[in-house]
Amino acid sequence: MDGKMLRYKAVVAILSLLLMIMVIPHTLEDFALGEPAKNGIPILILQVVVALLVAVQALGLYLLGGNHRLGYFIQMGIGIIWPLLAGSAQLPAIFSSQPYRSGFSSVFFVIGMILIGALLFLASIQGLRITAKEKN
């Protein structure tokens, strides 16, 4: 395994962990403020979906550590899913004229999810390209 491949693997792993650092506090805030109920979403369904997404993300990290290309595919999917969910659900409220939740910290986690998720998506694509070249 060459240095470039190791660097991309490390970048993807770090971005994935940073994404978890954004997702978990934001999700806890959602539950604390009763957002699922306000939007008519049963809390059990949201709990299961969030738990599954975090578990799949962890599985992707595990596979990445074992040099399986599937790890990159999983991280690529996670890198697009979290930003889409956060952006579609939260950006309208952030850009409205009303104050958003707890202020800066709430906005920070949402914007962090979107930016880090996008970077994770792009880094995973690049990691896949590098591993494909390595196999040839």
- 92-119 residue pLDDT tens: 888 887 877 777 888 899 999 999 999 9
- The model carries a pTM of 0.88
End-to-end CA, the chain: 13
User: Structural domain boundaries of the chain?
Assistant: 3-135
Confidence of residue 135 (pLDDT cuts 50, 70, 90): low
Q: What is the mean pLDDT of residues 49-61?
A: 96
Residue of 132 and 16 predicted with greater confidence: 16
Question: Three-state DSSP class for 59?
Answer: helix
